[in-house]
Amino acid sequence: MAATYFDLRLSHYRYTLKNTLRGLDKALLAVVAALQFILTAIVMVLLIGLGQALTTLVRDGTDFVARVAVIGAWQAASFVLLRALRDATFMPRPRAFFDALPVRPADKLRADLSLSLASYSLLWLPVGWVLADPLHQAPGTLPAMLASLLELAALSLCLNVTLLRGARGAAGLALCVLGYALAAGPGIAAESARAACTLLAAALCWRSYLPARVRPAAAPRRSAAMDRLALDSGLVLPLLFNELRSNLLLRLGFIAAALIGCLAVIHFRTNDTSTASVVVFVAAVAALALYTLPALCRTTLLDKLPFLAGQPAFAARMRGWLYAIPSLLFITAVAVSWPFDHSGRAWRDGGVFAILFVLGVIGARLRWNPTRWAMPFATMISVIILAAMT
């Protein structure tokens, strides 16, 4: 049975996500085990916060400022999430090849919308919170709330898809979202205006998929300084910023989420936080997220350009950058979290995980298989012990 266009897109989606998470599977398990309390707090804050915000959106008496704030928060969250999964969802690199094939616009639209809905995964939790109404704060009937939420999801989806595809019509879609925010209150007129904004957004999104006049491609700008830097780094920088960009951003996202989660827990805690430790958690996540990066960069680069292994000078040039960049990122993560730490033991906590990070880098580079389990296990035990001493 011949594969359809959607089947190809779905296979690419799964393959890209698998590559994006490459080298992070064991680390993710360790992070979930070691930071269970913080992760639970983050999920609950996001779920309840966005859920309550969406509940105010479907109320009739919500003022304009609050309505705009809720819609803006949903739009920002959905765009960030979809942008993080852009390579998997929209397949930008081979798009020019598929655009040259006789693929129907309806098939492209179906694939983009279906995969975008899958990439929205976390955002469906607050929507479920509103519909389930566990606090019994339902402002209206279920069909009315469902219609409002579907309109908001459709508007944000059309705008995000158009923006991330670089297609025409984004300005018109932004006006549709603004019009939806302005059409507040009950009544047939307001409901009709919101429905009209949604339908107009759907029409503009569909129009962006129709064939248009082909514009000549602009010649890519090249910089001699950047080319020189790429060669001096042994092609490590181009590899990180292109081939492994999504993988690197995901690792940095985990570190940022750990820091934000710690600050959120400290802010919402009702007991004393004068001895709260932040470095211990951020350094643990940074060590787990970054220790496989040097080995991953080296393996990926030599797999794509195997002849570099026979160039000793080039390999030596590559080696310094392979270890310098992850080490700098680890140090930066600890330094950023340092001012928020009140445990008085930041030096000790940072030093313990710095040692674990170095040992993990060495084990991963030597391809010592037990490192994949020993590193997450040692990090988890260290977090438990150090956090208990705070």
The pLDDT tens digits for 312-354 are 777 777 778 888 888 999 999 999 988 888 777 888 888 889 9
The residue among 155, 177, 207 that closes a domain is: 207
- Number of domain units in the chain: 2
Question: Same domain for 151 and 240?
Answer: no
What is the extent of the structural domain holding 268? 225-388
| 142 and 288 assigned to the same domain | no
- Of 149, 176, 207, which residue sits at a domain end? 207
Q: What is the pLDDT of residue 209?
A: 85
Please tell me whether residues 244 and 341 are part of one structural domain: yes
- 366 in the same domain as 290: yes
Do 107 and 138 lie in one domain? The reply is yes
What pLDDT was estimated at residue 1?
A: 42
The segments of the chain whose pLDDT lies below 70 read 1-3, 20-53, 58-63, 133-142, 212-227, 232, 234, 264-265, 267-276, 308-310, 388-390
Residue 30 lies in a domain: no
On whether residue 201 sits in a domain, the answer given is yes
Q: What is the pLDDT of residue 328?
A: 92
The whole-number pLDDT of residue 278 equals 82
Residue 36 lies in a domain: no
Q: What percent of the chain has pLDDT over 90?
A: 5
Q: Are residues 203 and 230 both part of a single domain?
A: no
Same domain, 195 and 229: no
Give yes or no: residues 339 and 193 share one domain.
no
Q: What is the pLDDT of residue 62?
A: 67
160 and 263 co-located in one domain = no
Pick the closest to residue 19 from 249, 238, 282 (CA basis).
Answer: 249
Global pTM reads 0.59
Does residue 107 sit in the same domain as residue 53?
yes
Say if residue 21 is exposed, middle or buried (CB neighbours under 10 Å; 0-12, 13-18, 19+).
middle
